[in-house]
């Protein structure tokens, strides 16, 4: 199909295929306002709906001028700026200009995106080929793609920074050798439970007996192997809600939450002692240690204790366990008194 376009002194037969390249957002109309042809970009925006022969105002809603309600009124606005939206995408305002063809052979409606550019590019996956080669919209498309790429890169970097920050925080709160929490993490957790939330919990203080003998006899690598083994035991024997930490060379603190009855805490302490005293094989040597454990519960205090008081009481209970012969546990009571097992 050719479209006849004439100037004042010369005529020009312009194939619609050429018009599709030069004006990919045009609509060709007959004299009655029915659609003859739509450019490829308009076809995308209309989602490929068959519109040939359909009246223009059944495909688009005319928003401005508000007083225009029919195609005859649109013809009277020839050459002036119009505002319309596709009925299939009423969120997409478009700008347009309507111009008559020579000899009353219908009209051409030239459309542009205007402020709806970014939304249309996103909704209909528009590319450079969907715009006139000379259209300044192409510059906006380059900017849109650059902004999208920059935004994507920014999100990627932000996620990497967040992951690195989280990893750094975990590393700062983790004992490198055993993989348990460290002293800093334990202090934070005790403050959280005692001061911020007032949650009840039991606290175990574990000290390894004869650990120095392992280091002196088999070397520090053997001692490290024992500490790693203890870390694995605590990870296996405790619940997910519990909070074990290595807080010194051979000292461990364990928060059991919620607080347990003394007999239950005693059973856990006994089980840990039995597991820890199992020999650790290192370079054909059996490295043997035992564990002394102090136990305290925040539920046993008449008034809310301080962190310092809880730690002092569980240390006192540990001392009583060691004094009673090691390889055993002792329960602390308010005021620092302890009863060894």
In 3D space, the residue among 170, 155, 205, 241 whose CA is nearest the CA of residue 321 turns out to be 205
Mode of pairing for the β-strands spanning 2-6 and 285-287: unpaired
Residues catalogued as catalytic: 250
Phi/psi of residue 130, each to 5°? Answer: -90, 5
> Could you count the other beta carbons within 10 Å of the beta carbon of residue 265?
21
Burial of 23 (0-12, 13-18, 19+ CB in 10 A): buried
Tokens in use for 304? 């809310």
Q: What is the total residue count of the chain?
A: 341
Tokens in use for 111? 């459309």
In 3D space, the residue among 109, 113, 34 whose CA is nearest the CA of residue 79 turns out to be 109
Peptide bond into 65 cis (omega under 30): yes
């Amino acid at each position: 199909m050719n479209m006849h376009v004439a100037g004042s002194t010369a005529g020009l037969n312009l194939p619609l295929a050429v018009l599709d390249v030069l004006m990919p957002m045009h609509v060709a109309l007959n004299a009655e306002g029915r659609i003859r042809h739509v450019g490829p970009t308009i076809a995308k925006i209309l989602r490929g709906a068959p519109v040939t022969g359909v009246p223009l105002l059944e495909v688009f809603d005319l928003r401005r001028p508000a007083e225009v309600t029919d195609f005859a009124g649109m013809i009277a606005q020839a050459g002036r700026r119009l505002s319309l939206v596709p009925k299939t995408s009423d969120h997409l305002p478009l700008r347009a200009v309507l111009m008559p063809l020579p000899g009353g052979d219908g009209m051409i409606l030239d459309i542009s995106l205007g402020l709806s550019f970014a939304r249309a590019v996103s909704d209909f996956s528009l590319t450079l080929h969907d715009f006139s080669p000379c259209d300044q919209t192409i510059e906006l498309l380059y900017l849109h793609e650059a902004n999208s790429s920059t935004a994507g890169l920014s999100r990627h970097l932000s996620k990497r920074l967040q992951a690195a920050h989280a990893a750094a925080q975990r590393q700062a709160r983790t004992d490198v050798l055993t993989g348990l929490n460290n002293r800093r993490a334990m202090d934070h957790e005790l403050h959280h439970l005692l001061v911020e939330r007032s949650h009840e919990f039991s606290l175990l203080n574990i000290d390894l007996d004869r650990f120095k003998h392992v280091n002196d006899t088999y070397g520090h690598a053997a001692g490290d192997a024992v500490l790693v083994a203890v870390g694995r035991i605590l990870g296996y024997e405790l619940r997910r809600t519990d909070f074990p930490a290595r807080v010194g060379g051979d000292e461990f603190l364990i928060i059991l939450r919620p607080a347990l009855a003394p007999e239950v805490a005693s059973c856990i302490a006994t089980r840990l002692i039995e597991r820890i005293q199992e020999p650790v094989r290192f370079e054909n040597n059996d490295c043997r240690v035992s564990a002394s454990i102090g136990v305290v519960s925040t539920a046993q205090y008449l008034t809310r204790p301080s962190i310092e008081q809880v730690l002092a009481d569980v240390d006192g209970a540990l001392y009583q366990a060691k004094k009673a012969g090691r390889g055993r546990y002792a329960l602390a009571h308010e005021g620092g008194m302890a009863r060894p097992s």
